[in-house]
Structure 1
Amino acid sequence: MSSQQTDRPRAIFLDIDGTYADHGLAPAAHVEAVQEVRRRGHLVFVCTGRPLSMVPDHILEAGFDGVITGAGARVEMNGEVLKDTRFEPDVAALIVDTLDAHDVAYILEAPEALRGRTGVGERLRRVLAPVFAGRSGHDGVLSTDVDPVEDILGPVQYSDDLRGASFAKISCFDSPVPLTRLMGGLGPQVGLIPSSLSALGDSAGEIFMAGTHKAVGIRVVEERLGLNRADIVAIGDSANDIEMLEYAGVGIAVEDGHPGVLAVADRLTPGPAGNGVALAFAGLGLLD
């Protein structure tokens, strides 16, 4: 990392949840800031842990130069898919069998769809509703008419048999046993990070392909466009943002973010309710 400044165009990679938007809602100041820095010749990319199937159209309508989803598993620019990695079929089947054997409530994440087992939707709603209780206020900056539970579960397709599903990541929301206990039986190709919903504790987490993270997706863009790493800016708040902030020339953490993100950041900025992305752009001189 470095906080070195440059007059060359920047390439900015933005996490969505807790950074650019709150439960799928972006403040107008963030939309305007993205559009303005792009008018000034900089590049702006979405870089999210969400699969493409869970990124709302109204987020993308702000206009971006590319989209990295699945925490680095998929990279798309100008309609061209540059990377789309999934779990190998035998590993995917082992994960599904293990989670089902331990009665874990989970969602399989792929670019084309979110998938869950038939009947898990109501269980997930019961688990998630208390997490978001009382979160109706956004200090007047963000709209409050989107249900954050439906933001997560609305796109899910349900099926009785998920063993043949293709996916890049799994979000687990309710496990009767700590997920860390299940990891040993899944092999070295599989990793686990804490859920961004910290209130769920060790009963929740995200299972991902080991070696796949947001910086991997950024490197694909960097190589395609011939970017200078010193000109890369990354802004994020969660555990899955650590690698991209470490990799970026300038790493900016949301000020109430995960401790690991705060530890590697060059700068801090407020969350969406405080228009933090716009303030970060201004602090870098990108809006002057």
Structure 2
Amino acid sequence: MKKAVFFDIDGTLIDCLNGLTDITPRVKKAIRELQAKGNYVFIATGRPYAFLNEVILNFGFDGFVFTNGSYVKVGDKCIHKEAMEKEVVKEMVDKFEELGVEYILQGEEYSYIKDDHKALHSYYDTYSISKKYLLGDFELEEVESYKIEMLCKDQKGIDYCTSIEKDRFSCLNNSDGSFELYSKTNSKASGILKVLEFLDIPVENSYAFGDGLNDIEMLSTVGCGIAMGNANDFVKSHAKKVTDTVQNDGVALEIETFIL
């Protein structure tokens, strides 16, 4: 029976903040071996398409769970997408503008960020995100948003972002004044389940690697969730296994000794 393995990006395959901007040769080799044996490998990320670097895009993954499960592709086929309601997005954007909260609207291919959102642009520069698919000139009513990220300059902005309807949205507070907002009906886990159903692969034949708070659901949902050694203890507590750190080829270690 074929297996499906899902990988987070930041802190799992690469570590931009600590200088690891490419997948290491050992990890590449291990993932290729999975594919050579007829298994599927997917990216499961909070990032939109616009935030993927050439390393990830050109690797040859079998598909992508984007924006925490709100946009899912297997090969070139979109099997699920659920954009936020435009009226709700407009209400939030109006409030962001009033409070001076910088924001980016993440779409299918392009993401939309105003040129004068300098602090947010600088924030993404630290993650080596290309400007190729970032548009600064856009009409809000024409944008399909699958996820919104915000950067607050003061406590008023933080208080508003913290207060956004918890019954409708998951709002991840990154504790540095930045937030990630997405529909509560989607997650990396829900996207993974849609992939498994599409490929007719049982959950027990699925694996996931991750290190962040937005990986908890998928680590708990797949057949075997594997936390990175650099994850915090809370994330590790939701995984069945813990591997070494991203810097020490933790993904390759677990593929070689356990999955393969």
Work out the CA distance in 1 between the residues paired with 2:150 and 2:259: 40
Match of 2:13 in 1: 20
Point out 4+ residue stretches in structure 1 off by more than 6 angstroms: none
8 Å CA contact 2:152–2:158 kept in 1: the answer is no
Match of 2:80 in 1: 83
Answering whether residue 129 of structure 2 is matched by residue 151 of structure 1, we say yes
Q: Among 206, 213, 228, which residue is 1:232 paired with?
A: 206
Match of 1:64 in 2: 61
Answering whether residue 4 of structure 2 is matched by residue 30 of structure 1, we say no
* Alpha-carbon offset, residue 152 of structure 1: 6.5
* 2:6 alignment partner AA: F
Match of 1:123 in 2: 119
* Alpha-carbon offset, residue 76 of structure 1: 0.8
Work out the CA distance in 1 between the residues paired with 2:49 and 2:164: 29
Q: Among 45, 50, 58, which residue is 1:48 paired with?
A: 45
* Alpha-carbon offset, residue 96 of structure 1: 1.1
* Alpha-carbon offset, residue 65 of structure 1: 1.6
Gaps (5+ residues) in structure 2? none
Please, what TM-score do these two structures have when normalized by structure 2?
A: 0.89
* Alpha-carbon offset, residue 230 of structure 1: 0.9
Q: Deviations over 1:137-169 (max 9, x none)?
A: xxxxxxxxxx63442666422137545422111
* Alpha-carbon offset, residue 95 of structure 1: 1.8
Work out the CA distance in 1 between the residues paired with 2:163 and 2:215: 24
8 Å CA contact 2:52–2:129 kept in 1: the answer is no
Work out the CA distance in 1 between the residues paired with 2:160 and 2:172: 13
* Alpha-carbon offset, residue 187 of structure 1: 6.7
Matches of residues 52-201 of structure 1 in structure 2 within 5 Å?
52-120=49-117, 122-125=118-121, 128=123, 148-151=126-129, 155-159=133-137, 162=140, 164-177=142-155, 179-184=158-163, 186=165, 188-195=167-174, 200=176
Work out the CA distance in 2 between the residues paired with 1:222 and 1:242: 18
Tell me the matched-pair count. Answer: 255
Alignment partner of 1:76: what SS?
strand
Match of 2:194 in 1: 220
Q: Deviations over 1:193-241 (max 9, x none)?
A: 133xx5x2xx111011112100110111111111111111011011110
Alignment partner of 1:273: what SS?
helix
Work out the CA distance in 2 between the residues paired with 1:166 and 1:46: 22
* Alpha-carbon offset, residue 46 of structure 1: 0.8
Residues 1:108 and 1:260: Cα distance change in structure 2 (over 3 Å): farther
Please, what TM-score do these two structures have when normalized by structure 1?
A: 0.81
Q: Deviations over 1:26-81 (max 9, x none)?
A: 11222111111110122111111111121123213222221111111111112111
8 Å CA contact 1:93–1:164 kept in 2: the answer is no
Gaps (5+ residues) in structure 1? 1-7, 130-146
Work out the CA distance in 1 between the residues paired with 2:233 and 2:92: 28
Work out the CA distance in 1 between the residues paired with 2:113 and 2:146: 14
Alignment partner of 1:18: what SS?
coil
* 1:222 alignment partner AA: L
* Alpha-carbon offset, residue 260 of structure 1: 3.3
8 Å CA contact 1:175–1:204 kept in 2: the answer is no
Q: Percent identity?
A: 27
